[in-house]
Chain A
Amino acid sequence: MTVASDIPETESWFHKNQQKIAPWLFLAPGILFFAVYVIIPIFQSFNLSLYEWDGLGKAEYVGFSNYEQLYWEYVDRDAFFISLKNNVIWLFMYLLAIPAGLFIALFLNQTVRGIRIYKSLFFFPFVISQVVVGLVFSWFYNPSFGLLNTMLDWVNLGPVNVLGDENLVTYGIIIAGLWPQTAYCMILYLTGLNAVDPEQIEAGRLDGAKGVRMLWHIILPQLRPATFIAFVVTIIGALRSFDLVSIMTEGGPFGSSRVLAYYMFEVALSEYGFRMGYGAAIAVVLFMIMMCFIAYFLWSMYREEKGH
């Protein structure tokens, strides 16, 4: 009933084997696309990182010299070191989105009139493009008219030039990033809280647990799936931080807010960047760092799959 009947041999063969063949037919277009645009390029980048190439002429094989230069940049505390250091700061600071999101979720997890609107509005920053978030926050920090300094002025503090201070700039950008990320974690927890078992809470209350103890011993264990997803998306988000750095500071002042993702782009494609091979080497380093986390996530997922 399925395939045209004028070629019966094919039909019967196909019919017999269709449960084996069908998945591959369904997978073929997706795998093809994914291979061409994602899998193969990863290997190409690995290969390219062994070359010196200005993106215009011929690429020249240089072995591991790009990595050697990165090593020296690390030793001399130059751009690569700063990028790596900032990536670590991003990783840790960005994780604050998880407790902050949980806090707001708990705050909003009530049933009063109009709470749905409040929840939506709190979630709002996540929907906005990071480009706009970056612009908004760079005005917020602007030393001559920014809202931040205006507010600091009310309490006789400041002024501070957050994006112009090499010690504050990374934190300033991360705070801009935390804004949408916290909203994201909040929504994950709000949904998680919906699924919390009321009987366990009642049991806990009877045992005299409340406040932080209740949260820690009864609520959080039940929120584990939400926490896991929040953790995954926050780590990945931290390592992908490109848009905000690019929009808010272009890595400045004097390169102190660079992160690997931005440094790579800067070296390879920006106004003064002509070093595709070097950029690829930076990308490989970033990829390796990311791979540690990806491996961990996959392992967690694998265990869960087996558990089913």
Chain B
Amino acid sequence: MLSKMKTTAAAAAVASAFAVPASAELTGDLTIFLDTSNPAPRATMEAMIGRFGEKHPGLNIETTVIDREAYKTQIRNFLTADAPDVATWYAANRMRPYVEAGLFEDVSDLYAEPAMAEGLASTKGALTIDDKQWGVAYTYYQWGVYYRKDIFAELGLSEPTTWEEEKANCGKIVASGRACYTIGTKYLWTAGGWFDYLNMRTNGFDFHMDLAAGKVSWEDDRVKQTFMNWKELIDMGGFIADHQTYSWQEALPFMVKGEAAAYLMGNFAVAPLREAGLTDDQLDFYQFVKINPDVALSEDAPTDTFHIPANAKNKEAAREFLRFATSAEEQTIINNGKNLGQLPVNAGSSVDDDKFLQQGFKMLSTNSTGGVAQFWDRDAPAEMAKVSMEGFQEFMVKPDQLDKILSKLERARGRIYK
């Protein structure tokens, strides 16, 4: 999905002929590469860029939208060969290779500006490597358990808060001939979400991050405990069969048809579930339950980001664009329910009325005291993420192979973190 949209300077100039130029007049070309290829996000971003263009009529903006999956492999080509001025990407370790290769611009100066320092404090950490900031967040979203309220009602279940309740609920759901959770692990990362939650709930946020950073052995008993908890759900038949052959989208129908009662997913799953015909009376959300009562709750909230490639040609305009995209006002607009339907990164923005966004925002701002993780494949280095998620998938299919899997991951750890 790649298309070019030229906001011609002429049209914009007419529209804002009487507008007072904001600050110094920006001129030249501004190329923006986006991975927001799904229809709604794409329209949102293009509209935002349109508004930016109106403010800066002297700027010739060219936007290129690339398929989200393809973008992940293509970014290294265009960063080295033909860099745009602004590019979307992901926070944390996922940006590390490019930071270390010197392909992203250091934008610490933006965070030194009072408006940005105040507004973007919450996501600053995810964009920091070596005490410098390498980009800005433009949206994030919560993860959690989306479930069929009608099925819960039919079985007389209520939203669980403890591990015992979770298991008891699941037992009843299985007894009713359904699976508790749908999941499609063909592309592995969905299993990473389960591991994130189980490990953070069992061993806490700091332990989880140490594991991602290679500081803890995979054969540690605490890691094993995480998998033992997971195994309880697997052994009782909690997950749908054959999940290793489905993508996350192919796993949706199980929930829609009522063959599975819940889905541990990011908030982006709400849109397709609604489209498939589930109403808000049938669909609800709860925070992943507490497992170890001594551990503070922490959440996955993946952050999507904008970066300025080091080889960009118009860095001044690019910086202005980053300021614009993260401003309180724009953040409110692009993240509202009609647009991205996610959470704004600026503290001065307001969250949409959508019930899932409201719940998610409340959960992340008040009930995630342990910390906020990005996601397993963004927190762990690429190679470890790949090997370990393969291990998670294997474990979900063959839980008895746990020791073999963990020793494989431990060998990988010895190789990867040098």
Contact = CB atoms under 8 A, between A and B. Distances in A.
A250 B383 contact: no
Interface stretch (A8-16, A49-57, A109-117, A208-216): A49-57
Contacts of A54: 97, 101
B244 A164 contact: yes
B242 A144 contact: yes
Interface in B71-129: 72-73, 76, 79-80, 97-98, 100-103
Nearest to A162: B245
Q: Which has the most chain A C-beta neighbours within 10 Å: B73, B100, B242, B377?
A: B242
B411 interface: yes
Given A56-B79, A250-B187, A161 B385 contact: no
A67 interface: no
Q: How large is the interface on B (under 10, 10 to 19, 20 to 34, 35 or more residues)?
A: 20 to 34
B224 interface: no
Interface stretch (A29-37, A228-236, A269-277): A269-277
B382 A255 contact: no
Given A56-B97, A56-B98, A272-B383, A253 B76 contact: no
14 contacts: A54-B97, A54-B101, A55-B76, A56-B101, A57-B101, A76-B411, A163-B245, A164-B242, A166-B397, A249-B186, A254-B393, A254-B394, A254-B397, A274-B97
A56 B80 CA distance: 7
B245 A253 contact: yes
Interface residues of A, number: 27
Contacts of A275: 383
B408 interface: yes
Nearest to B411: A76
The interface residues of chain A, by DSSP majority, are classed as loop
A170 to B, nearest CB: 15
Contact of B382 (A57, A143, A252, A273): A273
A130 B390 CA distance: 26
The interface residues of chain B, by DSSP majority, are classed as helix
Q: Which has the most chain A C-beta neighbours within 10 Å: B76, B244, B245, B394?
A: B245
A78 interface: yes
B415 interface: yes
B72 A143 contact: no
Given A161-B241, A252-B393, A253-B244, 18 more contacts: A57-B101, A57-B102, A78-B408, A78-B411, A143-B242, A143-B245, A163-B245, A252-B186, A252-B188, A253-B185, A253-B393, A254-B394, A271-B72, A272-B383, A272-B386, A273-B386, A274-B97, A274-B382
Nearest to A78: B408
Interface in A141-194: 142-144, 161, 163-164, 166
A69 interface: yes
Interface string A258-296: 000000000001111111000000000000000000000
Contacts of B69: 271
A69 B76 CA distance: 25
B391 interface: yes
Interface string B55-83: 00000000000000100110010011000
A199 B109 CA distance: 90
Contacts of A249: 186
B76 to A, nearest CB: 6
Contacts of B72: 271
Interface in A60-85: 69, 76, 78
A168 B238 CA distance: 24
A55 B76 CA distance: 8
A269 B102 CA distance: 19
A252 B244 contact: yes
